[in-house]
Amino acid sequence: MTHRSQWQIDKTEAVGKGGMVTAMHPLGAEAGAEILKKGGNAIDAAIATAFAVGVAEPQSSGVGGIAFLAYSPADSPDTTVCLDGTSVLPKSIRPDEFDVLPGDDVAGMYSWPATKDDANNTGWRAPAVPGMPALMGDAHARYGRLPWSDLLQPAIRIARDGFEIDPFGSLAITQSYESLARFPSSREIYFTRAGGPLMPAGMKPGDKLIQAELAWTLEQMAEHGPDALYRGEVGKRLVAEMEKNGGLITEDDLHAHQTLEHAATTITYKDFEVSGQIENSGNASVFEALKILEGLNLSGCGFQTTEAAHLILEAVRRAFRDRLRYLGDAELMTVPYKGVISPDFACQRRDDIDPARATPDAGPGDPWPFDPQDRPADEFRDSASPGGRTTHINVIDGDGNMIALTSTLGASFGSCVVVPGTGIMLNNATTWFDPRPGAVTSVGPGKRILSAASPMLIRRNGQPFAAIGAPGGRRIISAMTQVALNLMEYGKGMQESISAPRMHAEGPISEVSERIGQETLDQLEKMGHRVLPRVEGFNSAGFARPSGIRIDQDSGTLRGGVFQYTNATAIALD
């Protein structure tokens, strides 16, 4: 037997009592902390962080993206408000909008059949109306404390003055180089004069990422609110460029956009309550996995043991099989959201797990008997493994207001199109849909995205306990299941809960971090798992990139943890 050295990278917890912000980029966390210091509340800080991180991490989120927000006010700790900043596809898009190429080639983060010019993933026809700015404006109108304009100033400053690109940003540009290179407006921002990607510091100072036109857009929004996009000059420029380049978004599409509000769904896990939006998100699948696992003796199995790993993989696999079989846009099809998170359905799925043997080919269950809706005519949806870029923010302020906020462009750099005159990198919403017509998941006017985003808030015995979330495509679902288990089942701290080796299973393959140890990998193989060991490092995203803030309920101390393999940052205030 050989023994190989492994990555052992970790981060310390941020600790404080006066408020805390976590973000996937330090400039974003600093923006949120700046707002808290000025007297802003959690909503204010989350808005400032979201706009700032969209400038500092343009591959992952921003003005051109979508977002989900879960908020629990301190004066009503048993209340969770869920705002949905997704969008629908443009009214003019056709079911046969994209020319599917012959053969078996696939493309995009969901591995749909490849299309001519990769048009469903890249370019002017891929975006839907951005929903992130509207969600931020609606959240501020309801709950904000500081003036709206103040919240955008950090993002304006970062965009106007620029910042030195770091290795993570440069790597993201390099990985999307061919797609970005197709569009002059994108090349102008993200490439050097010599035509290469912006490079981080090495033997000389790093290249600066300056986004002057985006600073103008943010200034317009600071003055006129989100309507600068939906009804103002920013939107006029966007629509003009759409018309010029064969895009699909119209003024009517911009005017029609609305933020949705969903009644929060709460499940219990022992003496914890876990809340979040189940519609159009990943939370329904996280909640199903947790309910399956609640009835198993994970604590008795021990932390990070083979026995515990086996049970978690089997529960996550079943939650995914049910997700891929039954879940979709509830406005277009009847979806058994209540059924898949039902305790009785969880019991049925739990009984299907053999504690001694893996079942790689386990199929979906039947949640319809546990759902209040009538079973519809049979409908099927399915897709393959995703990738993608997303960002997540957590904020808890000194008063105890809690926020978990996830925002995304879809794939890395979204459509890879920057709208000239605005600096906005647009999402690629059509990447979530099958380019072949005729199915529930096919492209079509008015269809809404089904995202894996899973921002959630946790209480213990009715009192605030944690805010957590992650970027990482569908792997968000397995990550959030395990982070929540580490916190609730095993009583681990926030950073340890995030840093622990993780696993993922949405089909026959059990993907397991090699950090769990060779002995456990071998034992899982003997139990019948088709194990795929995953090496984790600075360019790996096999298990999503979580972050969170935990509240010590006795002392009120906040403890923040962030993904250890990136420059994600938690900042605490005294």
pLDDT tens digit sequence for 206-262: 999 999 999 999 999 999 999 999 999 999 999 999 999 999 999 999 999 999 999
How confident is the model over 427-477, as pLDDT tens digits? 999 998 889 998 767 899 988 877 888 899 999 999 999 999 998 888 999
Residue 144 has pLDDT above 70, yes or no: yes
Q: How far is CA 202 from CA 10, 57, 164, 165, 347, in A?
A: 23, 20, 12, 11, 55
How confident is the model over 67-100, as pLDDT tens digits? 999 999 998 888 999 999 998 899 999 999 999 9
How confident is the model over 387-436, as pLDDT tens digits? 445 799 999 999 999 999 999 999 999 999 999 999 999 999 999 888 99
Range 115-134 average pLDDT: 96
Residue 538 has pLDDT above 90, yes or no: no
**Integer Cα distance of 340 and 348 in angstroms:** 11
Structure confidence at residue 379 (pLDDT): 54
Structure confidence at residue 175 (pLDDT): 93
Structure confidence at residue 481 (pLDDT): 98
Active-site option among 122, 390, 422, 430: 390
Active site residue 390: yes
Reported confidence tier of residue 384, pLDDT bands at 50, 70, 90: very low
Residue position matching structure tokens 């005519």: 377
User: Which of 94-108, 341-355, 392-406 shows the lowest mean pLDDT across its residues?
Assistant: 94-108
Structure confidence at residue 1 (pLDDT): 61
Show the beta-strand stretches assigned E in 338-432: 389-397, 402-410, 418-419, 424-425
How confident is the model over 156-188, as pLDDT tens digits? 999 999 999 999 999 999 999 999 999 999 999
Question: Domain extents for the chain?
Answer: 14-153+214-261+389-455, 163-209
Closest CA to 21 of 54, 58, 48, 61: 48
Structure confidence at residue 378 (pLDDT): 58
Closest CA to 322 of 363, 271, 373, 274: 363
% of the chain with per-residue pLDDT over 90 = 82
Structure confidence at residue 318 (pLDDT): 97
How confident is the model over 41-74, as pLDDT tens digits? 999 999 999 999 999 999 999 999 999 999 999 9
Structure confidence at residue 452 (pLDDT): 83
Residue 336 has pLDDT above 70, yes or no: yes
Q: For residue 65, give the DSSP letter.
A: S
Closest CA to 67 of 49, 93, 90: 49
- Which distant-in-sequence residues (6+ apart) come within 8 Å of 526 by Cβ? none
Structure confidence at residue 383 (pLDDT): 42
Three-class secondary structure of residue 93 per DSSP: coil
Structure confidence at residue 447 (pLDDT): 87
